[in-house]
Chains A and B, each alone.
Chain A
Amino acid sequence: MSSGLPTAEPRPTVENHPYWEGTAQGRLVLPRCTACGTVIWYPRAFCSSCRGTDVEWFEASGRGTIYSFTISHRGQGPWRDVAPYVVAYVELEEGPRVLTNVVGCDPDEVKVAQPVEAVFEPAGEYALLRFAPAGTTS
């Protein structure tokens, strides 16, 4: 399933590459602070909660709920032709609230608190983490 939304190519850094390598395999791989246990977002090798620098990378569930969203009616650049589309904060089961797109449904059906699940859309060597309504992706 592809949403048809633009997919800019990620440029992993030495700090966040495990996240991006996970996306290439369709897995949501997140960093967790080994000192305080916080699941870190955005992916980096530094825990801003306890300032720990030792992180372990683990596979997250890919499940979450919509914390907030907006239907954008005016895209810029390659997004101009795909409006309206949904930009959202999805709160992952593991805690972080991540910016993303909600795809796979009519934008008008999107609601705050709605359960969603991860979908990975190929972008060059890697993939972008987007979300679709729960139960619609398999």
Chain B
Amino acid sequence: MSVRGAAFIAGAYEHPLREIPDRTVAQIHAEVAAGALADAGLGFDDVDGYFCAGDAPGFGGLSMADYMGLQLSYVDNTETGGSSYLYHVGHAAAAIAAGKCRVALVTLAGKPRTGGPPPGGAGRFFDAPESGFETFWGIPGAIGGYALAAQRHMYEFGTTSEQLAEIKVAASLHAQHNPNAFLPDPVTVEEVVDSPMICSPLHRLDCCVITDGGGAVVVVAPEVARQLDRTCAKVLGHGEAPKHTANGRIDLTYSGAVWSGPRAFEEAGVTPADVDYASIYDSFTITVMMTLEDLGFCEKGKGGPFVADGALVAPDGRLPFNTDGGGLCNNHPANRGGMTKIIEAVRQIRGEAHPAVQVPDCRIALAHGTGGSLGMRHGSATLILGQEDA
């Protein structure tokens, strides 16, 4: 069974705020749910499938179904960190194809900026079997694992800080057109490499922003999509894969995208050359470079020259990416960038990105998530979307 054409994204909504001190996480989940449903022309009573991840409070899907009064025939709490929402869209499409639900709501919300509970709750990893061998070394949050991957990439392939910086520069050129972007000002390569070193070789400006916020999408069955006035994005393909430490033989030079990408491309019946726009998970600049290689947009180890050539800059680069400014400049709500990756891909397919960065006649868009750590274990997911007749 394939999910190609089995589901459409009919609604997408990104919370406009980046600091939300006066609302609870549950409130923000409900707010973005209402936004995405309104975008689709649907209501809460239409929802029969609900998907959320570790950022949802309490029992996750159970608590949020209760909060929002949802009557559900399908619930999925898949948790793979920031990539969870890309898993959810694939799972929603499969559930719709299997007849388990017809209108699937996926929500994300969190407020790491103004002091809400940390997404996923750090305490939950205390009992992980690996924790006694990873938590004693002062790895300062997510950046440490990504820095280890970046250092090895530099060692094996000669990648430079300046090449990584080009990724931030491209994102910042896009963010200047987004009135909601947290960092709306363009930056230069020099500004990135001169920003304070946090975890070598990654500088402050190699990192994504920390923002409150959220987003939601609504995935519907084809017969529902046909009844809506809204332009939908067709789900063409989906692939997912965890990558782990491989009995201590971890290879830091690639991500799980080497498995999730081919699965998604095969299901969609397209190749990297067919992709008009790509939302690439950008927790850090190295995340983007490694993903571009692993998805086959360039050869392994050639991500540096690829990005240094202006490939990522919309609308004319070879592979316009993250035209909302991405997690690097626009928004990384709840420390999770997967939802906004989907939302901007939907905008591009609909022709509703900012005119300065809209890819002309964007037929095929890809969204990719990397949740967890490139340096240890992570969940990769690749989603390929097309126009309604793709």
Q: Which residues of A does B touch, CB under 8 Å? A: 5-8, 10-13, 15-16, 38-44, 47-49, 67-76, 79, 82, 85, 87-89, 95-101, 112-113, 123, 128
Contacts and interface: CB of A to CB of B under 8 A. Distances in A.
B144 to A, nearest CB: 6
A49 B246 CA distance: 8
Contact of B136 (A8, A44, A71, A113): A8
Contact of A97 (B137, B198, B249): B249
B199 A42 contact: no
Contacts of A72: 138-140, 144, 147, 198-199
Closest A-B pairs by Cβ, 5 of them:
A41-B248, A96-B248, A70-B147, A79-B138, A68-B152
Given A42-B129, A42-B133, A73-B198, A97 B248 contact: yes
Contacts of A89: 148, 250, 252, 375
Nearest to A48: B247
A88 B197 CA distance: 17
Interface of B is mostly: loop
Interface in B126-141: 129-130, 132-141
Given A16-B132, A95-B249, A76 B144 contact: no
Nearest to A126: B132
Given A73-B197, A76-B141, A89-B148, A68 B136 contact: no
Interface of B: 129-130, 132-141, 144, 147-149, 151-152, 155, 196-202, 245-250, 252, 375-376
Contacts of B139: 72, 87, 99
Counting chain A CB atoms within 10 Å of each CB, the highest count among B141, B148, B149, B376 belongs to B148
B155 A68 contact: yes
Nearest to A15: B129
Nearest to B139: A87
11 contacts: A6-B138, A7-B136, A8-B136, A42-B245, A49-B247, A68-B151, A70-B148, A70-B151, A72-B140, A75-B138, A89-B252
B252 A10 contact: no
Given A41-B247, A71-B200, A87-B144, A11 B132 contact: yes
Given A73-B196, A73-B198, A74-B199, A87 B148 contact: yes
A98 B130 CA distance: 11
B129 A40 contact: no
A128 B135 CA distance: 11
A99 B145 CA distance: 10
Contact of B247 (A13, A40, A68): A40
B196 to A, nearest CB: 7
B131 to A, nearest CB: 9
